[in-house]
Amino acid sequence: MSMRYLSGLRTIFRRVAASLRDRSLGSSAATLVTALALSLGSAVHAADAESGHKRVQTFLDGLQGLQAQFHQVITDRSGQVSDEASGSVAIRRPNRFRWDYRDPYEQVIVADGSRVWLYDRDLEQVTVRKLDETLSATPAMLLSGEGTLEENFTVTGVEQDGPVQWVRMEPKRDDTDFKFVRLGFEGNTLRFMQLADKLGQTTRLEFTNVERNPVLDPSRFTFTVPPGADVIGDASASGASRQ
């Protein structure tokens, strides 16, 4: 059931309640109808959340890996496009993923099971951080991590937009950088991901050529520090190497 339908129901019942008051049929009747409206709204919201949770959990069940092409658009709080990029993504559960940005700039983000590496080719710089609990409630780790949906996210709504079913979720941790994430499904395929951060930026990813549980070379999730690149962060005790 869509949020638009929920909003419509609330509007109808509020009008009924107002009409009862105008006709002086007693505050009891008006209160009863208003309470009914609120109860129905809560029940519909709960049903939305339950169906959204089931939708995401069904997708995650049996997911061992994922591979796709992506197109990313970032907009600021005023809705203006501030960045646009494209590339490929590969995910191997648990705790391994690789995002290769190719156009208009080259960047690589690799999670090797213990650390996350970000390489900016133009800056010749590698940033590395430990793969810890602060990353568990991120959308990337929702798809690739070991944690459960219940541990890290609260499903807050479902909306149908043509062939795409959107599920909105909010992180349970307060120390994440984003406010909510929306996953867009076409049938059984994850087609979109939308993230809203705490600075007012929105990142929208569209996935194409999606493969579920493909055969992936484990070496894709091992990062090799390019020669001459500066490394920022703790690169010890990891699977990375230098050329």
| Stated pTM of the model | 0.75
Query: How do residues 37-46 score in pLDDT, each as one tens digit?
Result: 333 344 434 5
Q: What are the φ and ψ backbone dihedral angles of 186, each rounded to 5 degrees?
A: -115, 105
**Which band of pLDDT confidence, cut at 50, 70 and 90, is reported for residue 148?**
confident
What distance in Å separates the CA atoms of residue 185 and residue 165, rounded to the nearest whole number? 5
Residues 185, 130: Cα–Cα separation, whole Å? 31
pLDDT for the residue 2: 35
Percent of the chain with pLDDT over 90: 53
Q: pLDDT, tens digit, for every residue of 193-227?
A: 999 988 899 999 999 999 999 999 999 999 999 99
Measure the CA–CA gap between 139 and 194, rounded to whole angstroms: 9
